[in-house]
A and B are shown apart, each in its own frame.
Chain A
Amino acid sequence: MLELAIGIILGCCALGAGVAMVAGIGPGIGEGNAVAKACEAIGRQPECKSQVTTTMLMGCAIAETTGLYALVIAILLIVWAPGRLVDVLMTAIG
């Protein structure tokens, strides 16, 4: 029974991490849009290249935030959560 409980904890942690990384879709689409528009802007006005690039990098960094939240959650779920949850289970059993 204990093995089953620990197995469920480990499996659900891994599953949760995988599901959390679905959030990677959003930043992917968003940054793709941003870079596409930046390319258009550079094509129209090549003399503004450095400014457009800087602004684009900033925008990409901010658009990436949601993806990074998901990444941090996934890392915590894989690295930190299983041991902690197993500890909680053990103390509950006594």
Chain B
Amino acid sequence: MEKKRWFVIIDALLLFFAAIPILTGIVLRVLFTPASEGIEITGALIFTTVKMPWGELPITEAQINSWLVILSVFWLCLYLTHGITAKGGSRRQYLCEWVVEKTESLVQENMGEYFSGFAPFIAAVMALSAFSSLLSLFGLFPPTSDLNIVAGWAILVFLLITFYKCKCGPLQYLKSFTEPVAFLTPLNVISEIATPVSMAFRHYGNILSGSIISVLIAAALGGLSSLLLGWLPGIFGEIPFLQIGLPAVLSVYFDVFSGFLQAFIFAMLTMLYVAGGFPAELYAKKQVKKSQKKIKIKK
């Protein structure tokens, strides 16, 4: 009995810790939002600027919010894995087992046996991206609609791709630019650079366009309701009735569906690019040669 009570208390604490970052985000948002009238489409708020040797580093809402998402997901993961047993049985254990199995099978399918260690990374990218986009449901600034955040992820993926392309040595990597014909080298270089750029722009553009359209439609509905229902007496004329509920229908598409879809696509492209950039056959040949050399030396 005592054990069960502690279990519940720890559960509640973990959920509480997961909720704290979001509450912090809301409080920061309320404190720092400048008073304004009408519709305004702005980028991330700048909280403060930190002086660095190379200039001033602005600390924006996007950075803070993405750290808050990371913290929140961390506590949520601890909550989901709290009290799992070999026997199973609890609902949350089924949920996290389902997540882990799905990601592992996805990675196996798309990247092959060699990359099976990628599952945690892919799951992390997906969770971070999806929960970042979902932040807009709380009225917070979704970090994914800031180009800097998504560009950071894209650069990380680009480094990974380059690392796996260099697996057979840097010379092999440089040689891969001249294929299939030597005069295509500039085009290959451009397409190499276009990979992270298009990944970042795709994610950022989708989320940002969704939030802009949501703001525009909410404003338009407000204007429409004051036009249609403005004749109502007293305070009823000032309440924008059409704004109640209707924008939420669009939000299901622009925030929830689009957010999940972009997270999935980002993770999928990461897998495809990393697995596609890895010269598997050459690497296998090299490994065989290495092992043969070792055997010769031993003899």
- Name A's B-contacting residues (CB within 8 A): 57-58, 61, 64-65, 68-69, 71-72, 75, 79
Chain B residues within CB distance 8 Å of chain A: 41, 43, 198, 201-202, 204-206, 208-209, 212, 261-262, 264-265, 268-269
Given contact pairs A71-B209, A75-B208, A79-B41, A58 touches B201 in the complex (Cβ within 8 A): no
Residues of A within 8 A of B43 (CB): 79
In the complex, chain B residues whose CB is within 8 Å of the CB of A61: 202, 261-262, 265, 269
Contacts of B208 in A (CB 8 A): 75
In the A-B complex, the 4 residue pairs with the smallest Cβ-Cβ separation, listed nearest first, are A68-B205, A61-B265, A65-B198, A71-B205
Residues of B within 8 A of A64 (CB): 202, 206
Inter-chain contact B268/A68, CB cutoff 8 Å: no
New A-B contacts (5) at CB < 8 Å, excluding given A65-B202, A69-B201: A57-B261, A57-B264, A58-B268, A61-B202, A72-B204
Which residues on B sit within 8 Å (CB–CB) of A69?
Answer: 198, 201, 205
Residue of A nearest to B203 (CB): A68
Question: Contact between A68 and B41 (Cβ–Cβ < 8 Å)?
Answer: no
State in angstroms the CA–CA spacing of A71 and B212 once bound together. 12
Contact A68 B206 (CB under 8 A): yes
Roughly how many angstroms separate A68 CA and B43 CA in the complex, as a whole number?
18
CB of B205 within 8 A of CB of A72, answer yes
- Secondary structure of the B contact surface, majority rule: helix
28 pairs of residues in contact across A and B, judged by CB atoms under 8 Å: A57-B261, A57-B264, A57-B265, A58-B265, A58-B268, A58-B269, A61-B262, A61-B265, A61-B269, A64-B202, A64-B206, A65-B198, A65-B201, A65-B202, A68-B201, A68-B202, A68-B206, A69-B198, A69-B201, A69-B205, A71-B205, A71-B209, A72-B201, A75-B208, A75-B209, A75-B212, A79-B41, A79-B43
Complex Cα gap A69–B194 (Å): 11
Most buried by B among A58, A61, A75, A79: A61
Contacts of B269 in A (CB 8 A): 58, 61
Contacts of A65 in B (CB 8 A): 198, 201-202
Chain B residue, CB-CB nearest to A65? B198
Bound CA–CA A69/B261 (angstroms) = 19
Taking the nearest CB of chain A, how far is it from the CB of B191, in angstroms?
12
Chain B residue, CB-CB nearest to A79: B41
Most buried by A among B41, B198, B269: B198
- Docked CA distance A50–B4 (Å): 42
Residues of A within 8 A of B205 (CB): 68-69, 71-72
| CA A64 to CA B20, docked complex, whole Å | 37
CA A69 to CA B198, docked complex, whole Å: 8
Q: For the complex, give the distance between the alpha carbons of A90 and B60 in Å.
A: 28
Q: In the complex, A65 Cα to B154 Cα: how many Å? A: 15
**Interface hub of B41, B198, B201, B205 (most chain A Cβ within 10 A):** B205
Task: Give the CA-CA distance A79 to B40 in the complex, in Å.
Answer: 11
CB distance from B144 to the nearest CB of A (A): 13
Q: How far is the CA of A24 from the CA of B140 in the complex (A)?
A: 29
User: What is the chain B residue whose CB lies nearest that of A51?
Assistant: B109
Distance (Å) between the CB of A80 and the closest chain B CB?
Answer: 9
When C-beta atoms are compared, the residue in chain B nearest to A76 turns out to be: B147
Q: How far is the CB of A23 from chain B (nearest CB, A)?
A: 12
Chain A: CB-nearest residue to B261? A57
| Minimum C-beta distance from B198 to chain A (A) | 5
Cα of A64 to Cα of B208 in the assembled complex, Å: 14
Bound state CA distance, A12 and B35, in angstroms?
30
In the bound assembly, the distance between CA atoms of A65 and B262 in angstroms comes to 12
